[in-house]
Every structure is written in structure tokens, then in C-alpha cells.
Amino acid sequence: SQQGEEDPQALSIQEGENATMNCSYKTSINNLQWYRQNSGRGLVHLILIRSNEREKHSGRLRVTLDTSKKSSSLLITASRAADTASYFCATAVTGKLIFGQGTTLQVKP
């Protein structure tokens, strides 16, 4: 079974708005990672947050991690049409990278 659940499953916003995606997981983790996938092709790594970290920033991305609630969120600020993609959280557990169900983001110009 998949480790992570994400919500919302789909999100549609206007360019310039912020997008927030949430991820919940079930077991203890070493780290949690976020990936982007365009049009069903390869995944691109966005950001990694370790289990002893609470918040991390990378450009327009902000990730938080709450290990007590087993949840994480990804915030994309000032979204662009090029951010349209599927976003997956992935948890690293005993050598495996297990993906959540994903959020499909559409950014309208």
C-alpha cells in the first residue's frame, strides 16, 4: 500500500496565486521529498526535508514537516503557468522511496 496520501487531488489556480499541497504518511521516516512530474514523463526532485527539520525553503518553494502529525505541506508562491504539473510527496523508509497519490496542479495564465 502507498505510504502517503495527498490533498487536494487536483488544484486549479490563477497565475500569481499561491498553491498549497498537503501530504500525510503512516510510518516513521528518514526524510520526505517532493517531486514534480510533467505530462507523465520523468520526475524532477524539488526539495528534501529531513525528519529533524521543520521547514525548508528553495526559491518559490516552502516545505514544512510535522513528524508528530505525520504530515508535510508544499507551498508554491507566485505560481506560473509553467508550474502546471503533478506533484508527489515521497517518504524514504528503509532504502525505499514511496510515493503519495499526488496532486495535479493547473495554473491558468
Query: Grid coordinates representing 86?
Result: 503533478
Kindly report the number of other CB atoms within 10 A of residue 20's CB atom.
15
Residues 59-98 binding other proteins (CB under 8 A) are 88, 92, 95-98
Kindly report the number of other CB atoms within 10 A of residue 101's CB atom.
14
Residues 2-61 binding other proteins (CB under 8 A) are 2, 30-31, 33, 35, 40-45, 48
CB of 48 to other proteins, least distance (A): 6
105 binds other proteins (CB under 8 A): no
User: CA–CA separation, 13 vs 52, rounded Å?
Assistant: 32
Query: Grid coordinates representing 108?
Result: 491558468
CB of 63 to other proteins, least distance (A): 13
Residue number, 41 or 69, with CB nearest to other proteins: 41
CB of 36 to other proteins, least distance (A): 11
Q: Which amino acid is at 3?
A: Q
DSSP lists the bridge partners of residue 99 as 90
Q: Is 100 helix (H, G, I), strand (E, B) or coil?
A: coil
Which residues bind to other proteins, rule: CB under 8 A? 2, 30-31, 33, 35, 40-45, 48, 88, 92, 95-102
